Structure 1
Amino acid sequence: MSYRKKFEELGIAWPSLERPALPFSPTVRVGDIIYVSGQIPEIGADIAATGQVGREVDLATAQHAARLCAANIVHWLDKALDGDLDRVVRFAKLTVYVNAIPGFKSYSEVGNGASEFLLHVFGERGEHARCALGMGGLPANVPVEADAIVHVR
C-alpha cells in the first residue's frame, strides 16, 4: 500500500508545503541520519489550530494537530529522499512540544497522535524513542510542534 493511501486511511491529505523563507532548512542529512526541523500543524499555507491545550484547544484537537505535524515531517522526509520513503530504515527519535496551560498533564497523550500516525504509515520502521513535553508557547501560537531524527539508507 502506498504511503499516500496510508495518510488517506487516517483522514489526512498528503501535505502541500513550500520551503519557508527562514534561515534554516526543513531537513539536514548527516551520513545516514536525517534531522527534520520542527513542524507545526500546517495544511498548505493555513495553520490548522492555534491556542493553548487546556484552554482554546481540547485534547482531541491537539492529538489531530500532532498527527498533522507528523504528516509534515513525512512530507519533508519524502523531499529529502527524492520521493523514496522506502529508504527509511527507522524513525529514531520524535520530540513533541505541547503549548499547554500550567497544570496540564497529558503531554504523552498529545504525543500519541504523532506516534500512532508514524506507526500506521511506516509499521515497525515508525517505532521510535520519544519525548513529549510542555512549552509556555510555540511559533504562531500553535498547540503542537514536532521534530524527528530518522535513520535512512
Structure 2
Amino acid sequence: MTDSLAQRVQQLGLALPTPSQPAANYVNHVVSQNQLFISGQIPLLDGKPAFIGRLGESISDEEGANAAELATLGLLSQLSNVLGDDLSKLVRIIRLGVFIASAGDFKNQSAVANGASNLLVNALGDKGKHVRTAVGVSSLPAGVAVEVDAIFELKP
C-alpha cells in the first residue's frame, strides 16, 4: 500500500479536493503535541456547499451517506495537506464526529455517518479505524446535511 493519501483515494475512484479555507474566525487545523485536530468540513462540490437540506425531509439516507463521504474527502484533503501527503507520519485517526441535519423524528444518523467511516477505513486501512459520534442537529452551516470533524494521532 502506498504512503500517499492522494494516491490511495484515487485508487478508490475518488479525488482529494483543494483544501477549503475557513469561512469565519478559526483555523483549519491545530497540532497539539502528537494530536491533530481538524475543523468541521462540509460537503463541497467545486467549492460550493452541496447536499442542502435535512435528513428525513428533503435528503434521503443514501444522499446523506454521500454527503458524509464528500465532507470526509474534505477532511482527508486537510489531513493530506498537513502531512505533506505522507501517511507514514500518521499513527491513526482517533475520533470522528459526524453531525447530521435531521428532522426531529429521523433515527438513521449511524447509517448516514457510515458514509464517512467507510471512506476513512477504505482510504487509511487500519489507521482509519476510529471511535465515532453521530449526532442529529437542527441545522448546519450553509444549510448542508452533514459536517464532519476529526482528531488524528501523529508520529512524534
Normalising by the smaller structure, the TM-score range is over 0.9
1:6-36 deviation digits (Å, cap 9, x = unpaired)? 3234443211234235211111000100000
What do you get for the CA RMSD once the two structures are aligned?
Answer: 1.4
User: 2:128 is matched with which residue?
Assistant: 126
Pick one of 32, 41, 44 that aligns with 1:42.
44
* Cα distance change of structure 1 residues 103 and 28 upon mapping to structure 2, 3 Å threshold: same
The answer on 1:141 being equivalent to 2:120 is no
Which residue in the other structure is 1:84 paired with?
A: 86
TM superposition score normalised by structure 2: 0.91
Stretches of structure 2 lacking an aligned partner (at least 5 in a row): none
- 2:25 is matched by which residue type in structure 1? P
Match in the other structure for 1:63: 65
In the alignment, what sits opposite 1:103? 105
Q: Which of 136-145 and 75-84 deviates more?
A: 75-84
Query: d(CA) in 1 for partners of 2:125 and 2:28?
Result: 24
Aligned residue for 2:54, secondary structure, equals coil
Counterpart contact for 1:17–1:44, Cα < 8 Å: no
Kept in 2, the 8 Å contact 1:14–1:75? The answer is yes
Amino acid across the alignment from 1:42: L
Deviation of 1:69 after TM superposition, in Å, equals: 1.3
Gaps of 5+ in 1: none
Give the Cα–Cα distance (whole angstroms) in 1 for the partners of residues 63 and 8 of structure 2.
Answer: 20
Indicate the percent of aligned positions where both proteins have the same amino acid. Answer: 33
